[in-house]
Structure 1
Amino acid sequence: MPKNTHKSNHVPLHKIIMVGSGGVGKSALTLQYMYGDFVEEYDPTKADSYRKKIVLDGVECQIDILDTAGQEEYVAIRDNYYRSGEGFLCVFSVCERESLEHTHEFRDQILRVLDDERIPFVLVGNKIDLAHLRVVDSAEPRHLAQEWNCPYIETSAKTRENVEEAYNILMRLIVKRKELLHQQVAKQKKKSSCTIL
């Protein structure tokens, strides 16, 4: 019996940070993913943290989502949030060109703080349900994602379209990266034990 309790303590935890300008639907995406609810009006906060147990590709794990505020006055705190993240969902609104342009700044900040080009990162175009208001053609962010060597996905927090997929894509990247780092550490250990001999 104690074996099982020991095992449950080792449910992997994946830490995701939501970034993007204010009003692009980061909170709406998070709440839709967490609770299956669409929240139209939402008070921008400094940050909200959510945790949920899920099964990803047959493996039980926990997802920890930090929903940051897009407002500029929280820049100082933001760096600390970035350091705690293992992967980033960078959200813009397909109805607002400026929010796509801001994704460059968010990515630059993340790379500056973490100093790591290979950090799991997914570009997300939200609000595709508002087709009549759309100003960003999907070819543009797709091209940007290619340049950044990251996946691009379009979502609607309102209809739930691709919401789960966006988080799953990022979590798979996080898992893959953790496995890679784990292998590197194991290799290093092997190397150092060889040199001692």
Structure 2
Amino acid sequence: MINTNNVTIQIYNNANARKSMKVHYLRKETDRRKFLQMCSAVLELRAQRIFDQTGKEIIDIDSIQMGGSYFISSGEEFNNYNSNLKNSFAESKQLVQYRISLLGMGSVGKSNLTTRWVNNEFFEDYSLTLLDKYTKRVIVGDQQCQIEISDTCGQEAYTSLRTQWMKDKEGLIFTYAVNSQESFEDIKNTLLLFQQLFEKQEYVPSIVIVGNKIDLGSERVISYDEGKQLASQFKALFYETSAKNGSNVNQMFIGLINDIIQQKENARKQQFKKVEEDPQNLKQGWCSLI
């Protein structure tokens, strides 16, 4: 038995090094058998052998170093390709892709919210959007994120596609214009559709409700409190923005990404809790996710 008090490491599947997990031990003493059982449960393989990044096999787990990276094998030899990937892992393991859709009626400013955040651009003339995609890399906390944004069509003829645009997304932006009662009512209906779509799902995307065009203050018909109340009803983030002058646009996107990251972290912890409670995989207390 060895003392491994709160040791944190990154473990990789030797056969597929893109599959990895950061773990730490909650027990002070862990032997090789329990360590391999932990790896089996986390990486979903039958762990038998341990290698460091150079390909050296680890027999005595007392030699495992805090903060190190280790490759777990089901019995096969060390995959030499992992050595070539070592540097690219160090550079790219924090790059995570998140997909976001903007939903709302036409002319509420979805495209301009996107172009303001991605390229710091604003276009006065309205043009019909069918489905445009944008990509931006941004660092949020200690995570480098690649954000893929789907700017969807808001015309009535395409409302049947809204459920499709909500699927397979980590974040959704429900947008109305503060000078349009019609757009506010429309977003209420879309939120009900969202609620129906995800009511029985384990993972629910992060959502934010956005009241855009606050630069048109004299034309406002939807108050801040009305928007905030709607957000509270659906447990959503809430921002009022102006794509024209950039007010709160960055705060809105970063706030949503932060919420996505937190949701993902909570989902990972919940998933590991299920594994941890399964006596065939782990005994409670051996390790937990970071």
- For normalisation by structure 1, the TM-score amounts to 0.91
Match of 2:140 in 1: 56
Kept in 2, the 8 Å contact 1:83–1:114? The answer is no
Match of 2:219 in 1: 133
3-state SS in 1 of match to 2:124:
coil
Shift of the 102–26 alpha-carbon distance from structure 1 to 2, 3 Å rule, reads same
Q: Superposition pairs for residues 41-190 of structure 1, below 5 Å?
A: 41-115=125-199, 116=201, 118-190=204-276
Kept in 1, the 8 Å contact 2:213–2:242? The answer is yes
Matched, 1:3 2:89: no
Task: Compare relative contact order (CA 8 Å, sep 6+) and give the higher one, 1 or 2.
Answer: 1
3-state SS in 1 of match to 2:190:
helix
> Quick one: distance in 2 between partners of 1:164 and 1:150?
17
Kept in 1, the 8 Å contact 2:103–2:151? The answer is yes
Query: Which structure has the larger Rg over C-alpha atoms?
Result: 2
Shift of 1:43: 2.1
Q: Which amino acid aligns with 1:122?
A: V
User: Which of 81, 84, 107 is the equivalent residue of 1:23?
Assistant: 107
Shift of 1:40: 1.5
Kept in 2, the 8 Å contact 1:124–1:152? The answer is yes
> Quick one: distance in 1 between partners of 2:119 and 2:111?
12
Identify unmatched segments of 5+ residues in structure 2. Answer: 1-83, 283-290
Alpha-carbon deviations, 1:113-143, whole Å to 9, x = none? 2335953111111001111211111111112
* Two-structure CA RMSD over aligned residues (Å): 1.9
More helix by share: 1
Shift of 1:111: 2.2
Alpha-carbon deviations, 1:13-52, whole Å to 9, x = none? 1111101111100001000000000112242222111111
Identify unmatched segments of 5+ residues in structure 1. Answer: none
Kept in 1, the 8 Å contact 2:107–2:126? The answer is no
Q: Which amino acid aligns with 1:75?
A: T
Shift of 1:104: 1.0
> Quick one: distance in 2 between partners of 1:73 and 1:187?
44
> Quick one: distance in 1 between partners of 2:187 and 2:122?
24
3-state SS in 2 of match to 1:84:
coil
Kept in 1, the 8 Å contact 2:136–2:147? The answer is yes
Higher deviation after alignment, 159-168 or 104-113: 104-113
